Structure 1
Amino acid sequence: MKRVLYVLILIVKILEVTLATTRIVLITKGERVKGAIIGFFEVIIWVLLISTVLKDITEDPIKIFIYAIGFSVGNYIGSLVEEKIGIGTTRVELIVKEEHGQALASNIREHGFAVTVINGEGMNFNRFVMISHVQRKRTKEFINIVRACQENVVITVSEIKPIYGGYGILRK
Structure 2
Amino acid sequence: MEPWVFSGILLPVLIFLSRIADVTLGTMRIIVVNRGMKIAAPILGFFEILIWLIAIGQIFSNLTNYVNYIAYAGGFAAGNYIGIMVEEKIAMGHAVVRIIVQQDANTLIGTLRGAGYGVTVMDGQGMVAPSKVLFTVVRRRNVPDVIRKVREISPKAFYSVEDIRQSAEGTFPKGRTMPGDIRLFQYFRKGK
Superposition TM-score, scaled by structure 1 size: 0.89
Indicate whether 1:96 and 2:106 are aligned. Answer: no
Which of 144, 150, 154 is matched with 2:154 structurally?
Answer: 150
After TM superposition, list the pairs within 5 Å mapping 1:28-107 onto structure 2.
28-57=34-63, 59-97=64-102, 100-107=104-111
Find the counterpart in structure 2 of residue 131 from structure 1: 135
Q: Which structure 1 residue ranges, 5 or more long, are not aligned?
A: none
User: Alignment partner of 1:32: what SS?
Assistant: coil
Closer, same or farther: CA 3–110 of 1 in aligned 2, 3 Å: same
Cα distance in 2, alignment partners of residues 5 and 47 from structure 1: 15
Superposition TM-score, scaled by structure 2 size: 0.80
Find the counterpart in structure 1 of residue 177 from structure 2: none
Tell me: higher relative CO, structure 1 or 2? Use CA pairs within 8 A at least 6 residues apart: 2
How many matched pairs? 170
Q: Percent identity?
A: 34
The answer to which of 78-87 and 118-127 deviates more is: 118-127
Deviation for aligned residue 1:17: 0.6
Q: Which structure 2 residue ranges, 5 or more long, are not aligned?
A: 174-180, 182-188
The one-letter amino acid paired with 2:161 is V
Cα distance in 1, alignment partners of residues 125 and 117 from structure 2: 25
Q: List structure 1 segments (4+ residues) > 3 angstroms apart after TM superposition.
A: 169-172
